[in-house]
């Protein structure tokens, strides 16, 4: 599969690295191929490709958005034509002052993106944890896989993203339509407050799904 990354910092770079090592054709959408972020990603994995944003997105089957949320509108507006008909994986979170929801919980960042790009299939994923768990999501002592919750309005797009989630070693849990993205963004804020602020959990903490078989 051809995959492009808009944004390849703490979240995007490890995901790009892992997906390339799984055999995907991964490109970094770069205005400046010599930028520090590009060079750091290439130092991690020399087989990542680098192309202009328009070329990378135009040639991709799936596009990952992993920029700071405030950069989303400018980055996506410039690529609106190339993103038509594409699957866009939204890995971003709108975070406001004092770890509040950046859109005042009136709607999700993913819904804002979908409104901006009505002809693009937006799927929210890879947002409910810190970057440590995208670097390494292996829990060898656990009998269950870590869960990755995701949502979107297009069933085919979700199937594609769900397959990538499973390839990356997660249990893919489809939680519904894109209206659920607001709840996933609140889960991210919950994780940040627990792991970064209150430090009641380790940054290497994820959610898992346990299902009990019940008989009548």
Domain ranges within the chain, ordered by starting residue: 2-197
The pair of structure tokens assigned to 4 is: 């492009």
For the stretch 7-52, pLDDT in tens is 999 999 999 999 999 999 999 999 999 999 999 999 999 999 999 9
Assigned CATH topology for domain 2-197: Rossmann fold (3.40.50)
Q: What is the per-residue pLDDT for 216?
A: 62
Q: What is the per-residue pLDDT for 205?
A: 97
Tokens 């269950």 locate to 144
- Determine if residue 199 is left, alpha or beta; phi over 0 gives left, psi from -120 to 50 gives alpha, anything else beta: left
pTM: 0.97
Average pLDDT over the chain reads 97
Confidence band of 214 (pLDDT split at 50, 70, 90): confident
For the stretch 86-136, pLDDT in tens is 999 999 999 999 999 999 999 999 999 999 999 999 999 999 999 999 999
- Determine if residue 108 is left, alpha or beta; phi over 0 gives left, psi from -120 to 50 gives alpha, anything else beta: beta
């Amino acid at each position: 599969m051809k995959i492009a990354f808009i944004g390849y910092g703490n979240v995007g770079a490890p995901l790009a690295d892992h997906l390339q090592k799984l055999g995907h054709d991964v490109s970094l959408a770069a205005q400046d191929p010599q930028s520090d972020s590009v060079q750091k990603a290439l130092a991690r994995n020399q087989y990542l490709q680098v192309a202009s944003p328009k070329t990378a997105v135009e040639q991709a089957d799936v596009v990952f958005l992993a920029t700071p949320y405030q950069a989303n509108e400018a980055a996506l507006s410039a690529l609106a034509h190339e993103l038509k008909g594409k699957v866009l994986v939204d890995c971003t979170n709108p975070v406001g002052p004092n770890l509040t929801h950046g859109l005042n919980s009136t709607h999700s960042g993913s819904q804002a993106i979908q409104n901006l790009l009505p002809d693009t299939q937006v799927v929210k994923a890879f947002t409910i944890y810190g970057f440590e768990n995208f670097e390494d999501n292996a829990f060898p002592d656990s009998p269950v896989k870590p869960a990755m919750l995701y949502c979107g309005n297009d069933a085919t797009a979700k199937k594609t993203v769900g397959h990538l989630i499973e390839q990356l070693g997660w249990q893919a849990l489809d939680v519904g339509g894109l209206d659920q993205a607001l709840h996933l963004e609140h889960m991210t804020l919950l994780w940040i407050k627990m792991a970064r602020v209150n430090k009641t959990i380790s940054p290497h903490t994820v959610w898992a799904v346990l299902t009990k078989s019940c008989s009548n």
